[in-house]
């Protein structure tokens, strides 16, 4: 905390990282694990595969 009673930026930033880590950890407990032999090619361009379609602009 600083003199005005607000938490410092490093403290809040660290809390944001913990939030992300918590979400990833929770997901790891319930989602299908990633199959290392079925991961997509490193780069979509030139892969011959269509994009997933999971994007903000999709319905």
Partner 1 sequence: MMARRLALFAAGLALVAATFSWAGPRAAFLVAIGLGFGLVLEGLRFGFAGPWRRIVTERDARGLVAQLLAIGATAAIALPLLAAAPGELAGAHAPVGVGMILGAFIFGMAMQVVLGCGSGTLVNAGSGNLVGLVALVGFIAGSFAGTLHLGFWTGLGTLPVITFQGMLGDHGGLVLTLAALGLVGYAAIRHAAPGKRLPPLRLWVAAGLIAALAVLNLIVAGQPWGIVYGLGLWGAKIAEIGVADLAATAYWTSPANAERLSASILTDTTSLTNIGLIVGAFLAMRWRRLPDAPPAALTLPSWAFVLIAGLVLGYTARMAFGCNVGAFFSGISTGSLHGWVWFAAAFGGSLLGLRLRGLVLVPLATTTARGAA
Sign of CA dihedral 19, 21, 24, 27: negative
Number of residues that bind partner 1 (CB under 8 A): 49
Q: How far apart are CA 14 and CA 20, in angstroms?
A: 10
Q: How far apart are CA 41 and CA 49, in angstroms?
A: 9
Q: How far is the CB of 55 from partner 1 (least distance, A)?
A: 5
Positions in 18-47 near partner 1 (CB under 8 A) = 19-20, 23-24, 26-28, 30-34, 36, 39-47
Binding site for partner 1 (CB under 8 A): 2, 4-17, 19-20, 23-24, 26-28, 30-34, 36, 39-59
């Amino acid at each position: 905390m600083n003199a005005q009673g607000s938490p410092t930026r490093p403290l809040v930033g660290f809390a944001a990282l913990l939030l992300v880590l918590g979400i990833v950890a929770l997901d790891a407990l319930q989602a299908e694990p990633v199959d290392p032999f079925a991961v997509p090619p490193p780069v979509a361009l030139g892969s011959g595969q269509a994009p997933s379609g999971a994007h903000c602009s999709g319905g």
